[in-house]
Structure 1
Amino acid sequence: MLFNITTSKLTKEFNETIQQIEWMDILMFILYVGVILIIRSFILFLTKKMKNSNRKVFIHMDSLIRNILNWLTTYGILLFMLFYFSESDWMFEEFVSIGRVQVTVFLTIIAILIISLANRTSKVITKYVLPSIYERYSLDRGIQFTFDRIFHYSIMVIAFVVSLTTVGIDLSALTVFAGIVGVGIGFGLQNIASNFISGIILLFERPIKVGDRVIVNDVIGDVEKINMRATIIKTLDNEHMIVPNSYFLEEQVVNRSHSDPKLRLVIPIGVAYGTDVEKVRDLLLQVASEEQASSEMVLLDPEPFVNFVGFGSSSLDFELFVWIANPNHVIHTKSNINFRINKILADHQIEIPFPQRDLHIRSIDSKIIEK
């Protein structure tokens, strides 16, 4: 069998391990760890004091020092544990066997060190090293996120394989376990597996990417993160939607930033019957020109256009078509244009009608009242 574990055997080995532990050494080890943590807290206190001086150098130093201290504390304690108990029998006592491999506490700590070190190294590289490369080649935010995810997953897979090899586990011995996992995926983990694979497809095919403005179920938001199982979208109301990755491959999603960031705004306006329609057209084009002069969002290529929609029940209906450079500024730009339209029509005494209903009261015959 792959895992040679029974309850009685595990209990017996646990009791034997407990008996081998020298509790005085454990207490001294805890004391040393406590001293390390106190020193860490003191250094963080000093850096916080320097940060409060509001100097940029100290603000950046605080973040750097925190990261370094976390590294030194975590790995220092683990390494200190290995050296301090290097001659203890319980460190090398088997507590579980996988195939022919005897797993000990020592090998387990080594595996944890490898995986955690790879994880932290990946985060440091993606946070401090790769951004300078992205900036040099002018890569957009979506491509940056894709590279970060691929790099992180690659590092973690390599670290996992190396940790198993270090412990002494033959990867071919895991074929049975992989078969069991495959059956589990086939029966109970289909949804998770589907979302995971969909996430990989999203990173490579990129129908959506980080930073895109999308519309999901009539809700507008920006893609913040594409995780292994789900995508996080931040709405305009600062709410976060967690959408399964498979949704973006199976359902219809509007991506306003997919290939061309330009977006056309359609602003409807109605004026009273009898108004000079040529004058209305000129005034609406003037509004678009004024907004373009005060904001770089409004584009003159394609040119703004006024569409005479038709004759409504109580108004002459027009639409002002305006192109903007960034879909993230739809609400702000549309509001500014509406303010300008309202003002310019009022200045030129052009009425904006509203729906009205006429109520006709019919006189009632006096004979009917008498009855």
Structure 2
Amino acid sequence: MNEFLLINSNNIADLISIGGVVQLSLAVVSVILAYIFACAVKRKITRSVVRLGIFWFGMLDKTIRPLIFSIITVMAGGVTMFFYNSASTLLYSLAIIGIIILFIKATVYTLDYALKNNKYRKHIKMLVKLALVMVIIFWTTNLDVILADQLGKVVLHFGKSQLSLWDFIREVIVIVFAIGVMIIATLVLDGWIKNLHDIDGNLKQLLLRISKILVVVIGVFMVLPSLGFDLTALSVLGGAVGVGIGFGLQKIASNFLSGFIILLDKSIKIGDRIIINNITGTVTRITTRYVVMQGFDGSEMLIPNEKFITDPVINQTYSNSNIGIEMVISVGYSSDMVLVIDTLRECIASVPEINQNMEPSVYIQKLNESGIDVFIRVWPLDGLNHGSVVRNKLNIAIIESFRKKNIEIPFPKRDVTVLK
């Protein structure tokens, strides 16, 4: 491919010839025509932005100019060869550069679109663009061959083994490049999966977890052979890891597998209100090792995934979010119980946050030594978020109604006899 490059003795010789001047003129004309045609095409595709979609419209906007420029320069090169019977090296080199620019723009735009919600988007774009430009410079100038020849003469000694400086730098570049590609691939997949609106939260978390594992596995299996490692040696390492898991890492493995089970059977989901081991909170995150639950005071509790498999779990929003509120009110034995029950029903009806379409429960629960316990169950419109508000308003309404109707709320009384 070196004959098509700008930094080439043939290209430089062509520039000072008549054919070179003609090619340079045609290149300038190609730039102007590419701009004119690109503007015309953009006006047409702007009307179809809804049909194309945001991504493809943006891709066309970024790549239309270098694409048209490359096509026009290739056509101009063919015309030049036909009339002058000479190779159009300069025009073909410019066409290749146009394709390179198209590739860089398409790659950077795809990355930018996938990472639009990532705070490190600008830095990642800059690094990727710099890496692509460096690769293209090395490829188009043959600089890598020159560096390999010079740096290969420098030998580094590591104990009894030795390695040339070029091989060392090359392996470091491969490792850094592989890590960078894995990080970017993970971020791209994260952004793509999180933007899927047709699947639930558990499936998203499962896809995110599987995608990260696949990226790491594929990256390792692609990098190790290039560094000279024998993949068959991984079987021995895998056996050692298996023994380690069986003895010392079984809890970690158990939590890891439990996380997959939770995501697959959808027993708990992000946003669910959970009670486990007398701990109440809302699930905010499901990770590989633990579930994050946020309490009413804002504190976050990290509970191992295994607990959600082995221990009893109360999921208040498993199939629906209708969470009831239960209360017990004590009244004196002298109270008219029919009046008490009617009054309590009136109090329930006076609270607008209670769902009146769901029948409340009001009945005598127990006869205590100091009073009669009346049980109440009501259904708030939003018990998940406003349960305490409903409880507070209902208590206030009951106290005020009991005072107006002289209904006694008893308290324990004790007779104390003083012996002399």
Length-normalised TM-score, structure 2? 0.60
Structure 2 letter corresponding to 1:334? R
- 1:224–1:75 Cα change, 3 Å: same
SS class of match (1:231): strand
Structure 2 letter corresponding to 1:303? E
**Which residue number corresponds to residue 332 of structure 1?**
389
Q: Distance in 2 between matches of 1:95 and 1:301?
A: 83
Q: Check if 1:195 corresponds to 2:195.
A: no
Q: Distance in 1 between matches of 2:119 and 2:212?
A: 22
Q: How far off its partner does 1:270 sit?
A: 0.8
- 1:93–1:151 Cα change, 3 Å: farther
- 1:169–1:284 Cα change, 3 Å: farther
Work out which of the residue numbers 269, 273, 285 in structure 2 matches 1:213.
273
Q: How far off its partner does 1:220 sit?
A: 0.8
The question of whether the paired residues in 1 share the 8 Å contact of 2:276 and 2:311 is answered with: no
- 1:278–1:150 Cα change, 3 Å: farther
Select between 192-201 and 144-153 the one with higher mean Cα deviation. Answer: 144-153
The question of whether the paired residues in 2 share the 8 Å contact of 1:142 and 1:211 is answered with: no
Q: Distance in 2 between matches of 1:202 and 1:355?
A: 48
Q: Check if 1:312 corresponds to 2:368.
A: yes
Q: Check if 1:123 corresponds to 2:190.
A: yes
**Which residue number corresponds to residue 30 of structure 1?**
none
Q: Distance in 2 between matches of 1:318 and 1:243?
A: 37
- 1:95–1:158 Cα change, 3 Å: farther
The question of whether the paired residues in 2 share the 8 Å contact of 1:110 and 1:163 is answered with: no
The question of whether the paired residues in 2 share the 8 Å contact of 1:111 and 1:164 is answered with: no
1:95-114 maps to which residues of 2 (within 5 A)? 104-114=171-181
Structure 2 letter corresponding to 1:111? A
Q: How far off its partner does 1:264 sit?
A: 2.6
Q: Distance in 1 between matches of 2:400 and 2:155?
A: 84
The question of whether the paired residues in 1 share the 8 Å contact of 2:203 and 2:264 is answered with: no
Higher RCO (CA < 8 A, seq sep 6+): 1
**Which residue number corresponds to residue 349 of structure 1?**
406
Runs (4+) of structure 1 moved beyond 6 Å? 80-85, 92-97
The question of whether the paired residues in 1 share the 8 Å contact of 2:272 and 2:316 is answered with: yes
Q: Distance in 2 between matches of 1:208 and 1:167?
A: 43
Q: How far off its partner does 1:142 sit?
A: 4.3
- 1:238–1:331 Cα change, 3 Å: same
SS class of match (2:379): strand
1:18-75 CA distance string (max 9 Å, x none): xxxxxxxxxxxxxxxxxxxxxxxxxxxxxxxxxxxxxxxxxxxxx8695431212443
Identical pairs, percent: 30
Select between 328-337 and 153-162 the one with higher mean Cα deviation. Answer: 153-162
Q: How far off its partner does 1:93 sit?
A: 8.3
Q: Distance in 1 between matches of 2:213 and 2:400?
A: 56
Q: Check if 1:290 corresponds to 2:314.
A: no
Q: Distance in 1 between matches of 2:408 and 2:372?
A: 11
1:43-58 maps to which residues of 2 (within 5 A)? none
**Which residue number corresponds to residue 58 of structure 1?**
none
Larger Rg belongs to: 2
The question of whether the paired residues in 1 share the 8 Å contact of 2:193 and 2:204 is answered with: no
Q: How far off its partner does 1:275 sit?
A: 1.1
The question of whether the paired residues in 1 share the 8 Å contact of 2:281 and 2:295 is answered with: yes
**Which residue number corresponds to residue 186 of structure 1?**
246
Q: How far off its partner does 1:78 sit?
A: 5.2
Q: Distance in 1 between matches of 2:320 and 2:155?
A: 62
**Which residue number corresponds to residue 268 of structure 1?**
328
Q: How far off its partner does 1:245 sit?
A: 0.8
Q: How far off its partner does 1:320 sit?
A: 0.8
Structure 2 letter corresponding to 1:71? I
Superposed CA RMSD in Å reads 3.3
Q: Distance in 1 between matches of 2:384 and 2:264?
A: 24
Q: How far off its partner does 1:340 sit?
A: 1.8
**Which residue number corresponds to residue 281 of structure 1?**
341
Q: Distance in 2 between matches of 1:194 and 1:228?
A: 10
Q: Give 5+ residue unaligned stretches, structure 1.
A: 1-62, 365-371
Counting matched residue pairs gives: 287
Q: Check if 1:231 corresponds to 2:288.
A: no
SS class of match (2:268): coil
**Which residue number corresponds to residue 69 of structure 1?**
122
The question of whether the paired residues in 2 share the 8 Å contact of 1:285 and 1:305 is answered with: no
Q: Distance in 2 between matches of 1:95 and 1:252?
A: 60
Q: How far off its partner does 1:239 sit?
A: 1.0
Q: How far off its partner does 1:240 sit?
A: 1.2
Work out which of the residue numbers 347, 359, 362 in structure 2 matches 1:303.
359
Q: Distance in 1 between matches of 2:336 and 2:258?
A: 56
Q: Check if 1:252 corresponds to 2:312.
A: yes
**Which residue number corresponds to residue 26 of structure 1?**
none
Q: How far off its partner does 1:106 sit?
A: 2.7
